[in-house]
Amino acid sequence: MSRSIKKKYFLSHACCQSEKKDKKIWHKVFRKKEKQKIGSSDLEEYVTTHHREVSNPWTMGKDGKRRYSKGYLLSSIKGIAKSLYKNKKERIASESKMFYRWVGK
């Protein structure tokens, strides 16, 4: 399965690798608000906290995802490899590595 690839190519627009830290922070705030609500009020009057009250996706590291066609990805990868590698053999090897790195499962 190391060579399996996705059938649909969704890539994120990002200035970071992961939103893990952002998600950890807002989950912590969410759990804290929930505990406070449960402890301070009757359970009959309890209304759960909406996730938008404690988080804002626009302040997180990634700005969303977009679907790309296979042809567009391959042409982008070829352009990047062409600018990085002058040797044809290295360029072809790097193209396949980049493709599997971008769309690998």
Retrieve residue 78's tokens.
Answer: 């070829």
10-19, 61-70, 75-84: least confidently modelled range: 10-19
How far is residue 86's CA from residue 93's CA, in Å, rounded to a whole number?
12
Give domain limits for the chain: 15-65, 66-105
Of 4 and 22, the structure prediction assigns the larger pLDDT to 22
Residue among 62, 93, 60 nearest 101 (CA): 93
pLDDT at res. 31 = 92
Residues 6+ apart with CB under 8 A from 55: 22, 26, 29, 30
pLDDT at res. 28 = 94
Tell me the whole-structure pTM to 2 decimals: 0.51
Is pLDDT at 52 greater than 70 in this prediction?
Answer: yes
How far is residue 28's CA from residue 31's CA, in Å, rounded to a whole number?
5
Assign 66 to helix, strand or coil: strand
Backbone angles phi, psi at 65, to 5 degrees: -130, 160
Spell out the alpha helix ranges (H) of 16-87: 20-40, 51-54, 70-84
> 19-51, pLDDT tens digit by residue?
888 889 989 999 998 888 888 767 777 788 888
